[in-house]
Amino acid sequence: MGPPAGHATPHADRIHLRFDSGTIRLETTVERASDLRALDLLESAGVTLVSDSREDPGTLRADANQYVPLRVSLERAEAPFVDTVLSLEEIDPPLTSTYELRPYQQQALEGWLETDRWDDSGGDLDPGHQPAPGGVLELPTGSGKTVIALKALERLSVPTLVVVPTLDLLEQWVGELEAEFDVPIGRFGGGEQRLEALTVSTYDSAYLKAEAVGDRFGFVIFDEVHHLGGEGYRSIARSLPAPARLGLTATFERPDGAHDVIERLVGPVVARLSPDDLAGEHLARYDVKRLEVSLTPEERRAYEEAQGTFTEYLARSNIQMRSGADYQELVKRSGTDPAAREALLARQRARDIMLGAQGKLEALEAILERHPDDRTIIFPAYNDLAYAVGERFLLPVLTHQTGASERRDLLERFRHGTYPRIVTSNVLDEGVDVPDASVAVVLSGSASEREFTQRLGRILRPKDDGGRALLYEVVTAETSEESIADRRR
């Protein structure tokens, strides 16, 4: 992928663009880079340039992700340059996908293809350059985001890096690509480092490899793109010159506001649909039921005592607990202040009582009796409660502590109905191909809207009998869990 090689205007500064360790090197013929005639235009286009070194004053560097605005600005300035940034092999045979897209999937794909990062940079390139779309698709779990990405691969047919958050997703993507395209599939992660024109990598491996192999890809797909907002993972996108970029997620916005950074690195949201938009025709219709349970008298006394210790300390210390920073301040103080430590421990005791209330287990028992034949996923907030639920109801439990082979076995048995019910803390929230279920029970959870949406998505695949999916939220009344449940909705 790439536009033409560059203009050749006489009496101008010659520039050579190279990829070098996650950056673009601008090697010039001028004695000092500050004398470069195109410098003002480059900086006005938002390209951040730094001098390479005192020993090489004619060389500048920019993050690799600025390749598109950098190249367009040079075109606009009619500056003569040689471009050897990308080193792309031809894909043979050309990529061909057998999938037929649903109307909303086709619309999402076309919306993405209509963007062009070359044009968005304000340049007028020579005709015939290959488009470089950039943007994010925010579509519900089960809506076929991977299928859209496969069709995008077919349309561009250029070397592509797919970046995923988990080894489970790496295996799923490798399987999809091998089934769909007759080309070798590389992988970075899980003990293997093999580069191919189509390569799947975990975020962790891409963090380590992008600077070395970034010039080998003209297209990058970020699955579960909200992970890219993490401070460390941002460097992956910054180290890749790939002009075409696609982000996939069911929940784009991050509480910390880092989705703004993702938009700058990948592109804006170009398609957005909610579960309600697709329920009935493409996803299962669903209902959400909120069940409130009460603490026992003994639980209530213990809860109020612990909660009182916590709130009294907050009142004395002037901590508002309105953000994660407030909580971190409390943790910091607990290292030297015994009262802060006791408040922190009291908060945890209150939380354990609230989330593990006896009434929750009784409500779960009633739910399971009401749905004896429905495939059901139970979501406790933390591992200890997951194992307690599994022990009480004799159900298989899947957590981050579950080994990979055991996890595959549990999910396969769940898929075939050998295990009609399964308990999991957070490991099935994303990044795992979960077999179809029709009932979900959020026994306890966080205030995260993303977590709630992902758990709902686990039961939204269309049902063979056209039935409705059902999600239960079990909430302890007259505790802070009520506000937690309100915030996640």
CA atoms within 13 A on the CB side of 24: 27
What's the sign of the alpha-carbon dihedral 147, 148, 150, 155?
A: positive
Q: Note whether 397 and 434 are same-domain residues.
A: yes
Q: Note whether 117 and 167 are same-domain residues.
A: yes
At residue 11, the pLDDT reads: 37
Helix (H, G, I), strand (E, B) or coil at 444: coil
Report residue 123's pLDDT band, with 50, 70 and 90 as the boundaries. Answer: very low
| Full residue range of the structural domain in which residue 21 is found | 15-83
162 falls within a domain: yes
Q: Note whether 350 and 390 are same-domain residues.
A: no
Out of 339, 355, 371, pick the residue that ends a domain.
355
Q: Note whether 122 and 243 are same-domain residues.
A: yes
Average model confidence (pLDDT) across the chain: 85
Q: Note whether 454 and 388 are same-domain residues.
A: yes
- For residue 123 the two structure tokens come to 């340049």
- Residues 229 and 104: their CA atoms lie apart, in Å, by 27
- Decide if pLDDT at 104 tops 90: yes
Q: Note whether 156 and 251 are same-domain residues.
A: yes
- Decide if pLDDT at 433 tops 90: no
- Decide if pLDDT at 175 tops 50: yes
- Residues 181 and 196: their CA atoms lie apart, in Å, by 13
Cis (ω within 30 of 0) for the bond into 133?
A: no
Least reliable range by pLDDT among 75-79, 149-153, 307-311: 75-79
At residue 467, the pLDDT reads: 74
Q: Note whether 123 and 179 are same-domain residues.
A: yes
The average pLDDT across 169-181 equals: 93
Q: Note whether 171 and 305 are same-domain residues.
A: no
Which residues does 380 contact at the CB level (< 8 Å), separation at least 6?
A: 355, 386, 388, 389, 423, 425, 443, 444
Q: Note whether 347 and 443 are same-domain residues.
A: no
Secondary structure (DSSP) of 5-65: S----SSS--EEEEEETTEEEEEESSSSGGG-TTHHHHHHTT---EEEETTEEEEEEEEGG
- For residue 21 the two structure tokens come to 């360790």
The number of domains in the chain is 4
Whole-model pTM: value is 0.79
Q: Note whether 258 and 190 are same-domain residues.
A: yes
**In 251-401, which residue ranges form alpha helices assigned H by DSSP?**
259-265, 275-278, 297-317, 324-334, 338-355, 358-370, 383-393
Segment (H or E) for 136: strand 134-138
Q: Note whether 229 and 332 are same-domain residues.
A: no
94 falls within a domain: no
